[in-house]
Amino acid sequence: MSAVGREHPRLEGPDKVTGAARYAVEYPVDGVAYGWVVPAAATRGRITRVDVAPALAVPGVLDVLHHGNAPRLTPGVDDTLFLLQEPTVHYRGEYVAVVVADSLEAAREGARLVRIDYDTQPHSTVLSEHHPGLYRPDTVNPGYPTDTTDGDFDAGFAAAEVRLDATYRTPAYHNNPMEPHATTAQWRNGRLLVHDSTQGSTPVQATLAQLFGLPPEAVRVVAEHVGGGFGSKGAAKAPVVLAALAARQVDRPVRLALTRQQLFGPLGYRTPTIQRVRLGADADGRIAAICHDAISQTSGVHEFAEQTAVYTRSMYAGRHRRTTHRLARLDVPTPFWMRAPGECPGAYALESALDELASACGVDPVELRIRNDVTVDPDSGQPFSSRNLVACLREGARRFDWADRDPTPGVRRLGRWLIGTGVAGSSYPARSRAAAAAATAAPDGTFEVRINATDIGTGARTALWQVAADALEVPADRITIRIGDSDLPPAGVAGGSMGTASWSWAVIRACQGLRDRLRHVPGAAVPADGLTVEASTADEVRAQRPLARYAYGAHFVQVRVDADTGEIRVDRMLGMFAVGRVVNPSTARSQLIGGMTMGLSMALHEEGLLDERYGDWVNHDLATYHVSACADIERIEAYWLPEEDPELNPAGVKGIGEIGIVGSAAAVANAVHHATGVRVRDLPIRLDKLLDRLPAG
Amino acid sequence: MKAFRYHRPADVAEAVALLDAEPAAAYLAGGTNLVDLMKLGVQRPELLVDVTGLPLDTVEVLPGGGLRIGATVRNSDLAADPVIRREHPLLSRALLAGASGQLRNLATTAGNLLQRTRCVYFQDTGKACNKREPGTGCAARHGQNRDLAILGWSELCVATHPSDLAVALVALDAVVEAHDPGGAREIPVAELHRTPGEHPERETSLPRGALITAVRVPPLPFARRCTYLKARDRASFAFAVGSVAAALDLDGDTVRDVRLAYGAVAHRPWRAYRAEEALRGRPFTAELAAQAADAELAAARPLPHNGFKVPLIRNLTVRALTTLAGTAPR
């Protein structure tokens, strides 16, 4: 019986719940010292003086690193990592010094006492469509064209029977993984060993080697267990660089872990967006003209251009199409990846606009989406490897009992509650990237499979183990899987929903190779030192046919809104997905409902509150920055269609880490509109935005 | 963080003496707020006097009715106490509307009353706050103030008191029993918390070094006809955006007596005396409830981001009272 497709608890689950699993700063290390970061108290300017004496006077403080004394780094591709090298301050909260001490408490107290003088300059931290500095970036993350155009949007829009022109706004959202970023760094004979909380230790190894001028083999990065990242650990981040600098400076191993408060900004966040969506359609809701203009922010340190409008390029029909991206370079931390960068905020706007178009045309919003399905990718002109958006909409609607829905907004009451339902489509690219893996057979009939994949809590380790069992055609309990160490065969990050697709490909090739070799071993006897086969997928991935590869989904949501207070509660979320083969249904379901809940959180709860006088976010803990939790979703279901797509990868999987969040905020917002008749176009939707606009009882 | 000394006193007298002798000392009970603020550098005590070992953790029924709640009774225990649930269900409801199960398991009765504001500027040593550092200014007055006060604030401070329990205790005319170097004293909970005025750093009327030992709740014949409504931004752990504690006594359809208090609107739990006055002795209607709320809220001065709290509190008041009167429209 196949291991793939069967539910299996996480292999490391018992270690995690008993505390045996080690995270980055939990490994016992002799003589370890502790680092604590000092954030800039200026928003833009230069450091004119650093007085370390009060910090050094704290018993236990060993040293204070700052731009004037830190070891030198080699500038690289990511300037956010060129830390403690220059006196420039680019944004409030930028890490400008690190205090190292014998104890965590002494380091923290020392950090409070470092006195820094700044020569400050005026700052600009508020994103606006009127910002004078708006510019057109060369490309948008991770390399898409900035603008696209097809047909004549202006003419098509002007000629349309029904026109929708709406602007949607999303605030700054902050990645809040359970485990804040943390690193233990140790130098031994010129070699650097770090235990880092990262989504990919192969790229961290390369980045550290470059920054510190070392050959990659002199750097080892271990990330055996990682407590989430949501993209914020998708590349090397400040803590690993600061810990390595500090360890070199004090000539001792150094642990550096950030607090919850310190996560809000310097490690990346989802940029605020301002999105204008225009749809021109006929009276039946068939879209003729579609345009999505997105504005977001970047920093003065390093350019990050969120691909907000990319979702609109491939999702729905429309002969005349245009998408644009513009950036404002502000005195803020650099935005970065947060679960489905681009698709997530973009789908919020487009899927909200489709709901508004459905109302304007008097067409059911599920039907409207079905009418605007496409058979080839409107962006690339390529056929789809598989596209089951319509099937997801239909099957989701059936399970949700959508058919009898009265489209009239603001008319359903249950006691004090106004009830409404909403729908949204969803899609996310199904990509793969090159990876390498090794498989070893031991004489005792057991196997070890090695790949530098990373399990950030998703169940990736378990999924790869299941895949390996099928590829080796042996019972899974004879297989050990090793991941999370840059000494293992190199592989990409857990990001872009590419992990399982890419890693399983390499694992399957290594295991297939080993199985073939074993067939030819004389007498079927494995040598005493084992038999190993390594495989790389670089050539195969490069040779993939040019097709549009996407996962699809549909979200259905029911909300209730308190008619007296405007409080919004979510009764039910149902996600219907088409994601290729599902390796492990239990962990897959967790990924999908996690993404859906995070979309709810985006729609109703999360918001980085900027105070432009200071230039930073004033809410920076989980009591004041609300993240949805269990009580906020009363019933949540995720289902998937059977989907066989031979054009993906040998395991036939599409990524599932991100599609759950794409569109889910729009489905919630659309349900709030259906419940109340109030269309809120700036997230989050909270009671104060509804209270004076609710229908009278 | 700053190094501190820690002491567990044998009795109340020793606890009070320790505080008296050390100007930078603080009592430690559940620690759910103080320890966070110490990590953030907002509070920097030299000495912590841990009072959780003192015998102040019981709920007593007093002769002649009324209850005495020990200062260190945990919020979870208090909310679940059968006597409390029978005699003063308002307290259970307010407690269970607040925090999370984990926090309630640690937090104490007196600690709940003495918790500090969750104003984000107060909690961030990089921002101006007159309460944390007198004379530095109030960044919230012209900053992000959606969650802050609409009543009783001053130009120096617009913070709110975050407790749910305190709102219920104020409505119930509860009295705090405290010991300080001068001896024992009693303070009505309604007078325990101050409005900020010129001294937002002075949050209570307790003398320095005073230790709350108990909270006494007098009997109230109509205590079971009560409700605590809390509007919040999410269903899971969240501080109130606005809350109303209410108890109502009707004689036919005439309001014989009423208790009404508001939370998350001011620097202290806000007893709505004007609204109560407008209700007493009059035939109850939803319109009267709305007029009563308006009478109380006439003094409201919303900040740039929190004008919605006025209709919110008004609506909560009407709902609370009509529900208690059995005349809720739906």
Within A282-342, strands assigned E span 287-299, 320-330
Whether residue B237 lies inside any domain: the answer is yes
A352: amino acid identity, one letter: S
Residue A428's DSSP bridge partners are: A551
What CATH number corresponds to the domain at position B280?
3.30.390.50
Burial class (CB in 10 A: 0-12, 13-18, 19+), B117: buried
Query: ipTM value of the model?
Result: 0.97
Q: Tell me the average pLDDT across B38-59.
A: 97
* Encoded tokens for B330: 């739906």
Q: What residues make up the domain containing A295?
A: 139-172+269-430+546-693
Residues near A541 by beta carbon (within 8 Å), at least 6 away in sequence: A432, A433, A434, A502, A505
Determine the distance in angstroms separating the CA of B111 from the nearest CA of chain A, rounded to an integer: 18
Q: Does B42 touch chain A (CB under 8 A)?
A: no
B-chain CB neighbours of A697 within 8 Å are 329-330
pLDDT tens digits, one per residue of B261-295: 999 999 999 999 999 999 999 999 999 999 999 99
Are A692 and B143 inside 8 Å of each other by CB?
no
pLDDT tens digits, one per residue of A472-519: 999 999 999 999 999 999 999 999 999 999 999 999 999 999 999 999
CA A373 to chain centre: 27
Kindly report the backbone phi and psi dihedral angles of residue A61, in degrees, each rounded to the nearest multiple of 5, phi listed first: -75, 130
Q: For tokens 């918390």, name the residue.
A: B193
Whether residue A663 contacts residue A553, with contact meaning beta carbons closer than 8 Å, is answered with yes
pLDDT at B328: 65
Is residue A386 domain-shared with residue A475, that is, in the same domain? no
CA nearest to A629 within chain B: B236
Q: Does B238 touch chain A (CB under 8 A)?
A: yes
Written as one string, the DSSP assignment of A421-434 is EEEEEEEEE-----
A-chain CB neighbours of B316 within 8 Å are 564-565
* Encoded tokens for A46: 């230069």
A485: amino acid identity, one letter: D
Q: Does B233 touch chain A (CB under 8 A)?
A: yes
DSSP code for A416? T
Q: Tell me the average pLDDT across A411-433.
A: 97
pLDDT at B330: 45
Whether residue A441 contacts residue A482, with contact meaning beta carbons closer than 8 Å, is answered with no
Kindly report the backbone phi and psi dihedral angles of residue A95, in degrees, each rounded to the nearest multiple of 5, phi listed first: -75, 115
* Number of structural domains found in chain B: 2
A-chain CB neighbours of B123 within 8 Å are 621, 624
Whether residue B191 lies inside any domain: the answer is no
Determine the distance in angstroms separating the CA of B210 from the nearest CA of chain A, rounded to an integer: 29
Dihedral of CA B78/B81/B83/B88: which sign?
positive
Q: Using 50, 70 and 90 to split pLDDT, how confident is the model at A523?
A: low
- For A664-677, give the secondary structure using H, E and C: HHHHHHHHHHHHHC
Of B40, B234, B315, the CB nearest to A605: B234
Q: Tell me the average pLDDT across A424-440.
A: 98
Residue B305's DSSP bridge partners are: none
* Encoded tokens for B323: 């529900």
Are B318 and A628 inside 8 Å of each other by CB?
no
Q: Which of A402, A405, A270, A400 is nearest to A348 (CA)?
A: A270
Is residue A532 domain-shared with residue A648, that is, in the same domain? no
Is residue A555 domain-shared with residue A657, that is, in the same domain? yes
Q: Which of A490, A509, A542 is the last residue of a domain?
A: A542
- Give SS3 for A221: strand
Measure the CA–CA gap between A195 and A24, rounded to whole angstroms.
5
pLDDT at A697: 67
pLDDT tens digits, one per residue of A296-307: 999 999 999 999
B-chain CB neighbours of A614 within 8 Å are 126-127, 139
Whether residue A148 lies inside any domain: the answer is yes
Q: Which of A542, A576, A602 is the last residue of a domain?
A: A542
pLDDT tens digits, one per residue of A316-326: 999 999 999 99
Of A105, A564, A632, the CB nearest to B319: A564
Burial class (CB in 10 A: 0-12, 13-18, 19+), B103: middle
Q: Tell me the average pLDDT across B121-148.
A: 98
Is residue A518 domain-shared with residue A590, that is, in the same domain? no
Is residue A388 domain-shared with residue A417, that is, in the same domain? yes
Measure the CA–CA gap between B221 and B218, rounded to whole angstroms.
10
Burial class (CB in 10 A: 0-12, 13-18, 19+), B241: buried
Whether residue B93 lies inside any domain: the answer is no
A-chain CB neighbours of B308 within 8 Å are 687-688, 691-692
Measure the CA–CA gap between A568 and A581, rounded to whole angstroms.
35
- Give SS3 for A533: strand
Q: Tell me the average pLDDT across B33-45.
A: 96
pLDDT at A524: 66
Name every residue in A having a CB less than 8 A away from some CB of B: 39, 41, 105, 108-109, 112, 259, 261, 413, 415-416, 562, 564-567, 569, 604-605, 609, 611, 613-614, 618-621, 623-624, 626, 628-632, 686-688, 691-692, 697
Measure the CA–CA gap between B37 and B17, rounded to whole angstroms.
24
Strand pairing class (A191-196; A219-222):
parallel
Q: Which of A74, A77, A64 is nearest to A35 (CA)?
A: A64
Whether residue B27 lies inside any domain: the answer is yes
pLDDT at A413: 96
Measure the CA–CA gap between A327 and A304, rounded to whole angstroms.
9
Are B234 and A691 inside 8 Å of each other by CB?
no
Q: Which of B260, B236, B251 is nearest to B318 (CA)?
A: B260
- Give SS3 for A94: coil
Q: Which of B14, B31, B50 is the last residue of a domain?
A: B50
Measure the CA–CA gap between A662 and A351, rounded to whole angstroms.
10
CA nearest to B312 within chain A: A565
Q: Does B123 touch chain A (CB under 8 A)?
A: yes
Rounded to a whole number of angstroms, the CA Rg of chain A reads 26
- Give SS3 for A463: helix
Q: Using 50, 70 and 90 to split pLDDT, how confident is the model at A677?
A: very high
Q: Tell me the average pLDDT across A134-162.
A: 98
Strand pairing class (B175-180; A413-414):
unpaired
Q: Does B106 touch chain A (CB under 8 A)?
A: no
Is residue A598 domain-shared with residue A643, that is, in the same domain? yes
Contacts from A373-378 at CB under 8 Å and sequence distance 24+? A373/A316, A373/A317, A374/A316, A374/A317, A376/A548, A377/A314, A377/A548, A378/A150, A378/A313, A378/A314, A378/A317, A378/A318, A378/A321
Q: Is the pLDDT of residue B329 over 70?
A: no
Q: In what order do the strands lie in the sheet with A273-281?
A: A148-150, A320-330, A287-299, A273-281, A162-170
Residue A34's DSSP bridge partners are: A101, A255
Active site residues of A: 658
Virtual torsion, Cα A14, A234, A683, A138, nearest 10 deg: -160
Kindly report the backbone phi and psi dihedral angles of residue A156, in degrees, each rounded to the nearest multiple of 5, phi listed first: -65, -40
Measure the CA–CA gap between A685 and A153, rounded to whole angstroms.
31
pLDDT tens digits, one per residue of A32-62: 999 999 999 999 999 999 999 999 999 999 9
CB pairs < 8 Å spanning A and B: 98
B173: amino acid identity, one letter: D
pLDDT tens digits, one per residue of B136-150: 999 999 999 999 999
Is residue A560 domain-shared with residue A626, that is, in the same domain? yes
Is residue A482 domain-shared with residue A339, that is, in the same domain? no
DSSP code for B146? T
Q: Mean pLDDT over all residues of chain A?
A: 97
Kindly report the backbone phi and psi dihedral angles of residue A342, in degrees, each rounded to the nearest multiple of 5, phi listed first: 85, -75
* Number of structural domains found in chain A: 2
- In chain B the first and final C-alpha atoms are separated, in Å, by 54
Are B236 and A628 inside 8 Å of each other by CB?
yes
Is residue A436 domain-shared with residue A475, that is, in the same domain? yes
Q: Is B135 left (phi over 0), alpha (psi -120 to 50) or beta?
A: left
Whether residue A604 contacts residue A684, with contact meaning beta carbons closer than 8 Å, is answered with yes
Residues near B10 by beta carbon (within 8 Å), at least 6 away in sequence: none
Residue A12, CA distances (Å) to A16, A21, A250, A474, A659 in order: 6, 7, 35, 21, 25
Q: What residues make up the domain containing B245?
A: 229-325
Whether residue B265 lies inside any domain: the answer is yes
Are A687 and B3 inside 8 Å of each other by CB?
no
Q: How many residues does chain A have?
A: 697
pLDDT tens digits, one per residue of A226-247: 999 999 999 999 999 999 999 9
Whether residue B142 contacts residue B125, with contact meaning beta carbons closer than 8 Å, is answered with no
Q: Which of A511, A527, A542 is the last residue of a domain?
A: A542
Is residue A412 domain-shared with residue A503, that is, in the same domain? no
Q: Which of A575, A592, A595 is nearest to A584 (CA)?
A: A592
What CATH number corresponds to the domain at position A376?
3.30.365.10
CA nearest to B144 within chain A: A611
Q: Does B310 touch chain A (CB under 8 A)?
A: no
Is residue A501 domain-shared with residue A624, that is, in the same domain? no
What CATH number corresponds to the domain at position B17?
3.30.43.10
Is residue A310 domain-shared with residue A399, that is, in the same domain? yes
DSSP code for A184? E
Whether residue A674 lies inside any domain: the answer is yes
B-chain CB neighbours of A606 within 8 Å are none
CA nearest to B2 within chain A: A109
